[in-house]
Amino acid sequence: MNVPLFDITRQYNSFKEEMLNAIDQVIASGQVILGPEVRKLETDIAYYVGVKEGIGVANGSDALYIALDAMGIKEGDYVITTPYSFFATVSCITRLGAIPIFADIDPVTYNIDLNQVELIMNNHPQKDKIKAIIPVHLFGQTVDLEKLEGLRTQYGIQILEDCAQSIGSCWIKSDGSIIKSASVGDAATFSFYPTKNLGGYGDGGMIVTSNPEIAKKTRIIAKHGSTKKYIHEMVGINSRLDELQAAILNVKFKRLQDYIEKRKVIAHQYAQLFKEYNLEEYIQYPEPKNDNTHVYHQYVVRIKKGNRDNLRQHLTEQGIGTSIYYPKPLHLQPCFEHLGYQEGDLPIAEKACYETLALPIFPELEEKEIEYIVKNVKQELVF
């Protein structure tokens, strides 16, 4: 049996006619740049997460860079973030001439440890120059949004939420109210890369915010720093969400909640099978405090007993797709050597890089495929 890590074609076949019709309407209209499909998606996603404005851009990496620039981060500023994320989370900082400070992660959720963030805020020798925090809601689970709000209130710090993997995820506050990821930060960003829970058939991204000044500046930066054609108020970049991608995403956005629910079912099936096959001493798998909050963009397990790389090789040989998120933490990347971090400085993130493995998860994954995966995990780890 062959089980891919992700399969975009199964999903496409379920709404092929509607998708092709949406694409045809865009092309037939002749308005293929910044048209009504982009505006609809911007409005719908902003409303969905509970903020005032959405600004479509070319990709998730641009979204981070533009948002951070619009928030006023400049050369010499410091920004706290996680070492356990995709490269764009940190490159957006350094591209602006700012300096990243890495805080270690929580060993269960793999999100940035906000207690470590607070220690940095209080004790870093350059704490007066710390201007922002970029938390990443990793693998589909948010950081503690209530505590994040508290840090902003206490320290007057700006927050840019990296929601590339977390659209639809939420946090239940101590008073029982529910808030979604992307609704707490001064700004937040999404990626619509094809593998995301809401993914297009190419690149795409979005910035959302309730701050009118950040929204205004974001639109200017993304349009070559211009508000009037051929008049440039600042040096910006060219970053637009394509009208065709927006049309595709509008078709899929109507199904997003259904996709999320299916991912939750798959995660439950994995967890149940790990228990049935007596793998709990070998595997640490996602167990959120409240299952309604996690959207399972990735299903990442930690190998507690056994060899992660041997397991991956075995699964590959059995036709099962896997991936490692992430094999080398950001603080140890060659391009960031000048920051002075050494191996051992952030041990929890480093350990996660050596021990974790992403198993297949997408809404169309079948129960028999999940059982085949778990059987093969047991075959390698136990026997």
| Per-residue three-class SS string for 64-103 | HHHHHHHCCCCCCCEEEECCCCCCHHHHHHHHCCCEEEEC
**Is 0.85 surpassed by the pTM of this model?**
yes
b vs e for 235-255, b when ≥16 Cβ sit within 10 Å of the residue's Cβ? ebeebbbbbbbbbbbbbbbee
Percent of the chain with pLDDT over 70: 99
Q: Report whether 341 contacts 104 (CB < 8 A).
A: no
How sure is the predictor about 290, in pLDDT bands with cuts at 50, 70 and 90?
A: low
Q: Which two tokens stand for residue 108?
A: 């269960």
pLDDT of residue 289: 66
Least confident of 271-280, 291-300, 367-376: 291-300
Q: Does residue 24 have a pLDDT over 90?
A: yes
Domain that holds residue 175: 8-253
The candidate with the shortest Cα–Cα distance to 360, out of 302, 305, 297, is 297
Domain boundary among 238, 253, 268: 253
pLDDT of residue 198: 98
Please compute the mean of the pLDDT values over residues 168-192 and round it to a whole number.
Answer: 96
pLDDT of residue 292: 67
- Does 335 lie in the same domain as 197? no
The candidate with the shortest Cα–Cα distance to 147, out of 182, 105, 115, 180, is 115
310 vs 231, residue with greater confidence: 310
- Does 273 lie in the same domain as 205? no
Helix spans in the chain (H): 8-14, 16-29, 36-49, 60-70, 88-95, 114-123, 145-155, 212-221, 243-253, 256-276, 308-317, 347-355, 367-381
Tell me, what CATH number does 204's domain have?
Answer: 3.40.640.10
Q: Which two tokens stand for residue 136?
A: 């990443």
Q: Report whether 230 contacts 223 (CB < 8 A).
A: no
Q: Does residue 16 have a pLDDT over 70?
A: yes
The candidate with the shortest Cα–Cα distance to 78, out of 115, 124, 131, is 131
Q: In whole numbers, what is the pLDDT of the chain averaged over residues?
A: 96
The candidate with the shortest Cα–Cα distance to 204, out of 315, 42, 96, is 42
Rg (CA), the chain: 21
How sure is the predictor about 258, in pLDDT bands with cuts at 50, 70 and 90?
A: very high
225: left (phi over 0), alpha (psi -120 to 50) or beta: left
Q: Does residue 209 have a pLDDT over 90?
A: yes
| Largest pairwise CA distance in the chain | 68
DSSP 8-state secondary structure symbol assigned to residue 131: E
- Does 171 lie in the same domain as 300? no
Please compute the mean of the pLDDT values over residues 133-149 and round it to a whole number.
Answer: 96
Helix spans in 130-229 (H): 145-155, 212-221
Domain boundary among 198, 219, 253: 253
pLDDT of residue 228: 86
* AA letter at 101: I
Is 2 inside any structural domain?
no
Domain boundary among 253, 270, 305: 253
pLDDT of residue 288: 73
Report the number of distinct structural domains present in the chain.
Answer: 2
Q: Does residue 259 have a pLDDT over 90?
A: yes
pLDDT tens-digit series, residues 316-371: 999 999 999 999 999 999 999 999 999 999 999 999 999 999 999 999 999 999 99
Q: Does residue 291 have a pLDDT over 70?
A: no
Please compute the mean of the pLDDT values over residues 233-248 and round it to a whole number.
Answer: 95
